[in-house]
Structure 1
């Protein structure tokens, strides 16, 4: 099968399409024919770390690709929920930049109703991060004011929609008029251009001084979260929560992933560059086309590039 291989040429990353062995699944895993895999900032961080530390041709290469969508083509002997032909998306332990990927059956969930198979690759990690940080760690409730920094990114744009769905008042910051308009179209109530005005002063004015003062008055703690550091079991629980609480809103067309641009597989490095330049809106998706390994109604696989580098509770 074909997969992206990372190597070094001088100080530059070289992302090449090569032939590798087909993954062998364990009893609790499924094999997915990849329709799309989202390129996240974690992939770029892996490459940066690889550049800093590795100077040997025999050193381990970064295992890129942390989420995907596709069709199940094999199931392990202990798998009961899934069957061959099911269309799913989920979180993978690296290796998503490939035609086939093996993943634990608990780390995949059905494609949201009404969402194209390839677009679904942009959802698992972002949705899990949002649910983990806002609804688990910070127990967000209806009518709360939420501030999202640099909200035109992948996680930010999805967070606006999810928080609005749950009745929150969403304030955002962004750096251009285009991004401000984009976020407003998603439902953000107060949109602040952080390049032109002081966001703290504006939020203070909009909330009549109540927003930040309540932190001290009620002894509120501030929690930060990163879903990538969670265990597979924790991710499985989050995916279950996402399927129950966010997928219905997608089926109602209240929430939608936003795809930006497509790339061919051989243009993987270009997709990374586009992500770094922060020129896109939404999930910042580039799509890296890959020949399909199976005959199906979805004849190509591709990599959707997630431009967001968001952190919660303030996403950026």
Structure 2
């Protein structure tokens, strides 16, 4: 098969479309013939040599895919050759084939085309596990999403609105904020021109955000704590703004607030399977009913993964960038 390889870390040009051995499904795995994958920020870090795959994972980038089951390994039940699926991966999505543990497989939602399904696994699992399973967002509460126009952000807006929460977002352009509003965002904050702490306080009458989903990390830590409501929950899922910052414990204590930080890729198989099962139970019906949809900015050939990485680095996209396998 062909896959995107990274012979040496570097810029987008480090991604090489090359012939590699076919994967073989192990016990409890299926082989998926990939139709499409999607690009995530973690893929850019892997390309730069800053985020290596977990032990035993595919060395090729790609944390999600959609496709058809091509073969089943020993001990697999409930899945058959030809099934249309999408999957959460530890790596290997930028390839024509990938082996996937069955606990990380999802059926393609009814009414959704197979390619678009590649935009779902990583964002739905990230948002559901952090916003709902960890931070326990409830109806009537306020969720602040940083990077509201990203793949994660566009899904977070829709899921929070679906459960009856109020949603605030930050983004860097009017076009991106307008799109967030179309998805249902109630509070629109241009982080280039506005202080999100002040804007959240104004919009909530001084109460603050009950839950914050943060992709920035260190750069926003102090302001995120200030923007939290009493009993607020800050869920950190990225470090685009750095990895080290001071945490004002007194401020956290005064608000009886909580800070969590999670990642999906290195979790044990059982934890991933539990998240995937929860997504199938709670999110898939919302997609099939039309209340929630994947947001796809563009599709590029998988062999042009370098071009897709440049799009993400420019932050000119809204939603997900897909890579379509030949």
Shorter-chain TM-score: which interval?
0.7 to 0.9
1:135 is paired with a residue whose SS is helix
The separation in 1 between residues aligned to 2:229 and 2:132, in whole angstroms, is: 22
Q: Does 1:262 align with 2:278?
A: no
Distance 1:134 1:213, change over 3 A: closer
1:222 is paired with a residue whose SS is strand
Q: CA RMSD in A?
A: 2.1
Structure 2 partner of 1:304: none
Structure 2 partner of 1:23: 23
The separation in 2 between residues aligned to 1:37 and 1:168, in whole angstroms, is: 30
The separation in 2 between residues aligned to 1:281 and 1:11, in whole angstroms, is: 22
Alignment partner of 1:224 out of 261, 265, 286: 261
Structure 1 partner of 2:270: 233
CA contact (8 A) 1:13 1:47 kept: no
The separation in 1 between residues aligned to 2:10 and 2:2, in whole angstroms, is: 25
Structure 2 partner of 1:174: 171
Structure 2 partner of 1:299: none
The separation in 2 between residues aligned to 1:72 and 1:131, in whole angstroms, is: 25
The separation in 2 between residues aligned to 1:115 and 1:168, in whole angstroms, is: 25
2:259 is paired with a residue whose SS is coil
Where does the alignment leave 5 or more consecutive residues of structure 2 unmatched? 53-57, 209-227, 232-252
Q: State the Cα distance separating 1:135 from its structure 2 match.
A: 1.0
Q: Does 1:290 align with 2:287?
A: no
Aligned pairs (5 A) from 1:1-316: 1-8=1-8, 13-49=13-49, 62-211=59-208, 212-215=228-231, 219-283=256-320, 285-287=321-323, 289-291=324-326
1:223 is paired with a residue whose SS is strand
Distance 1:158 1:51, change over 3 A: closer
The separation in 2 between residues aligned to 1:14 and 1:229, in whole angstroms, is: 24
The separation in 1 between residues aligned to 2:306 and 2:141, in whole angstroms, is: 40
Q: State the Cα distance separating 1:103 from its structure 2 match.
A: 1.0
1:204 is paired with a residue whose SS is helix
More strand by share: 2
Tell me whether 246-255 or 259-268 shows the greater mean CA deviation.
Answer: 259-268
Distance 1:218 1:9, change over 3 A: closer
CA contact (8 A) 2:28 2:102 kept: yes
Structure 1 partner of 2:214: none
Q: State the Cα distance separating 1:47 from its structure 2 match.
A: 1.4
The separation in 2 between residues aligned to 1:115 and 1:209, in whole angstroms, is: 41
Distance 1:50 1:9, change over 3 A: closer
CA contact (8 A) 1:31 1:75 kept: yes
